[in-house]
Amino acid sequence: MHIHILGICGTFMGGIALLARAAGHRVTGCDANVYPPMSTQLVAQGIDLVEGYDAGQVALNPDLFVVGNAISRGNPLLEAILERNLPYVSGPQWLAGNILRGHWVLGVAGTHGKTTTTSLLAWILEEAGLNPSFLVGGVPQGFGVSARLTDSPFFVIEADEYDTAFCDKRSKFVHYQPRTVILNNLEFDHADIFGDLAAIETQFHHLVRTLPGNGLIVANALEDALKRVLARGCWTPVEWFNGGAGWQAGEADAAGGFAVSLNGKEQGRVAHFALAGAHNRANAVAALAAARHAGVPVAAGLGALESFSGIKRRLEIRGEAGGVTVIDDFAHHPTAIRVTLEGLRQRVGKARILAVLEPRSNTMKLGSMKEQLPQSLAEADATYCHAANLGWDAAAALAPLGSRARTFDDLERLVAAVAADARPGDQVLVMSNGGFGGIHEKLLAALAG
């Protein structure tokens, strides 16, 4: 079958492309913005990419169009598909019907930490010899790809609460029907599609309603929103983490190692761990619990955590120039920005951190969380915000940070300012959920000069 994917360079739709290719389909696709790492993965797999959404692509005559949730009414190609009554389906619906059916699905849901926790879970199963299939919203370093299809009964998936498609406003994860699910956390996000936190809680409740009685929910005990979700009805056993009982991660030692306990009894230690921050230790413990449900002994899971090497765009070092380290991270929600900075601070100690922020997500563009930004950036010694195309005053929002924060409408001026201010030993942390105009290479070039 020939499928043509609209929005193919998004992390989710790009993953679907890789899975479809592995399943034997001919795959092509299009996107408005084609940039690494997804474009690199797709081309390496022999998938042809088209820039833009011109209606002429219907002449490719695929058997099926798979439509990503970034595609809205008014898109020329989508309108041509509808006008000609051509066959189409949403990405999650295609995935559920063609790939996930018959698998033991392990899903990772939550506002933050999905990509990291999904990658950790897939790695634990891999190291245990279970050879899982997976679809992750990033690229785990140990795998080198964001998705793969194997003959294993286990499929690990990042279970996103964002809507499914222009024609299906349910969250993606309601299609996946997992047996094991991690509920990492739950905060207000995606202000472009959800009116309030209660609306997101309803979607999580829809997910819980699809779980079988022989499944398992691994849930964060610190999250009142998750407790409200489960109180609306739960038919599946629950194991908690981050609470007084249940699963718990101890404090990190100098090597990043930590103890893991269950109901107050130590299960063992992770001797060293590549990911910084208490939030990542919690992610690791949640992954251990989910892997145990799939049959992986805790001791084996602890050993797998020690060999986990991280994820692209999660505190990923992009290079060093002039003694200054440039780091890339996907953080874009205020909570993610805060915990990312806290994790980096634990790693670098007293070294200066220069935070470079692009408020690019739909939620951030709307300004619904702008008041939280100053507190989320507290660990940064200086902040440089790219404020182009925002519907709110970034300078006013960051005013509580005083001289520690500057805003720029022009990317080149921002790069020049960071390069002028940076000195040897500094850590430049770039945070964006997009390509950010190739800023990492621009910074490294400017620092080298």
- Looking at residue 354, its pLDDT comes to 96
pLDDT at 309 exceeding the cut of 90: no
Residues 238 and 127 in one domain: yes
Residues 6+ apart with CB under 8 A from 273: 252, 255, 256, 257, 258, 280, 281, 284, 305, 306, 308
CA neighbor of 114 nearest in space, from 176, 48, 186: 186
- Looking at residue 389, its pLDDT comes to 79
pLDDT at 236 exceeding the cut of 90: yes
- Looking at residue 144, its pLDDT comes to 82
Would you tell me how many other CB atoms lie within 10 Å of the CB of residue 62?
Answer: 21
Residues 211 and 118 in one domain: yes
pLDDT tens readout for residues 336-362:
898 889 888 988 889 999 999 998 876
What share of the chain has pLDDT > 70, as a percent? 98
Domain CATH code at residue 351 = 3.90.190.20
> Can you spell out the DSSP letters for 304-333?
HHHT---BTTSSEEEEEETTEEEEEE---S
- Looking at residue 138, its pLDDT comes to 79
Q: Is residue 63 included in any domain, yes or no?
A: yes
- Looking at residue 419, its pLDDT comes to 95
Residues 210 and 280 in one domain: yes
- Looking at residue 37, its pLDDT comes to 66
Ramachandran assignment for 446, one of left (phi > 0), alpha (psi -120 to 50 degrees), beta (any other): alpha
Q: Is residue 18 included in any domain, yes or no?
A: yes
Query: Band of the pLDDT at 7, cuts 50, 70, 90?
Result: very high
User: Where would I find the beta strands (DSSP E) of 93-176?
Assistant: 104-109, 133-135, 147-148, 154-158, 163-165, 168-171
- Point out the domain boundary residue: 273, 306, 339: 306
The mean pLDDT of 20-38, rounded to a whole number, is 88
Residues 6+ apart with CB under 8 A from 51: 30, 31, 32, 34
Residues 107 and 234 in one domain: yes
Rg, Å, the chain Cα set: 22
pLDDT at 305 exceeding the cut of 90: yes
- Looking at residue 218, its pLDDT comes to 98
The mean pLDDT of 422-448, rounded to a whole number, is 91
Residues 293 and 398 in one domain: no
Parent domain of 75: 2-93
- Looking at residue 196, its pLDDT comes to 86
pLDDT at 13 exceeding the cut of 90: yes
Averaged confidence pLDDT in the chain = 91
Q: Residue 356 forms beta bridges with which residues?
A: 384, 430
**Could you give the maximum distance between any two Cα atoms of the chain, in Å?**
63
Compute the CA torsion angle 248, 249, 250, 252 (nearest 10 deg): -170
Half-sphere exposure of 174 toward its Cβ, with a 13 Å CA cutoff?
18
Q: Is residue 367 included in any domain, yes or no?
A: yes
- Looking at residue 44, its pLDDT comes to 86
Better pLDDT: 235 or 274: 235
Domain CATH code at residue 253 = 3.40.1190.10
Residues 152 and 275 in one domain: yes
Inter-residue contact 30 to 53 (CB < 8 Å): yes
pLDDT tens readout for residues 58-76:
999 999 999 999 999 999 9
Q: Is residue 207 included in any domain, yes or no?
A: yes
CA neighbor of 176 nearest in space, from 116, 92, 102, 291: 92
Domain CATH code at residue 43 = 3.40.50.720
pLDDT at 25 exceeding the cut of 90: yes
Residues 155 and 286 in one domain: yes
Q: Is the bond preceding residue 87 a cis peptide, omega within 30 degrees?
A: no
The mean pLDDT of 3-24, rounded to a whole number, is 93
pLDDT at 321 exceeding the cut of 70: yes
Give the total number of structural domains in the chain: 3
CA neighbor of 422 nearest in space, from 346, 321, 341: 321
pLDDT at 418 exceeding the cut of 90: yes
Whether the predicted model's global pTM rises above the 0.85 cut = no
Residues 320 and 426 in one domain: yes
Burial class (CB in 10 A: 0-12, 13-18, 19+), 254: exposed
Intra-chain end-to-end CA distance of the chain, in Å: 51
Question: How far is 333 from 339, CA to CA, in rounded Å?
Answer: 10
The mean pLDDT of 2-20, rounded to a whole number, is 93
Q: Is residue 311 included in any domain, yes or no?
A: no
Inter-residue contact 76 to 55 (CB < 8 Å): yes
Q: Is residue 201 included in any domain, yes or no?
A: yes
Question: How far is 295 from 135, CA to CA, in rounded Å?
Answer: 20
Better pLDDT: 39 or 147: 147
- Point out the domain boundary residue: 61, 93, 125: 93
Residues 324 and 437 in one domain: yes
Residues 79 and 130 in one domain: no
pLDDT tens readout for residues 149-186:
999 999 999 998 888 999 999 989 999 999 999 999 89
Instruction: Give φ, ψ of 54 to 5 degrees.
Output: -70, 145
Residue 7 one-letter amino acid: G
**Which run of H or E residues covers position 241?**
strand 238-241
Would you tell me how many other CB atoms lie within 10 Å of the CB of residue 194?
Answer: 20
Q: Residue 436 forms beta bridges with which residues?
A: none
Which residue has 């003694």 as its token pair?
323
Which residue has 């994917």 as its token pair?
5
What share of the chain has pLDDT > 90, as a percent? 70
The mean pLDDT of 394-400, rounded to a whole number, is 91
Going by DSSP bridges, is the β-strand pair 2-6/405-408 parallel, antiparallel, or unpaired? unpaired
- Point out the domain boundary residue: 55, 74, 93: 93
Residues 301 and 323 in one domain: no
Better pLDDT: 401 or 392: 401
- Looking at residue 201, its pLDDT comes to 95
Going by DSSP bridges, is the β-strand pair 316-321/180-183 parallel, antiparallel, or unpaired? unpaired
Residues 56 and 142 in one domain: no
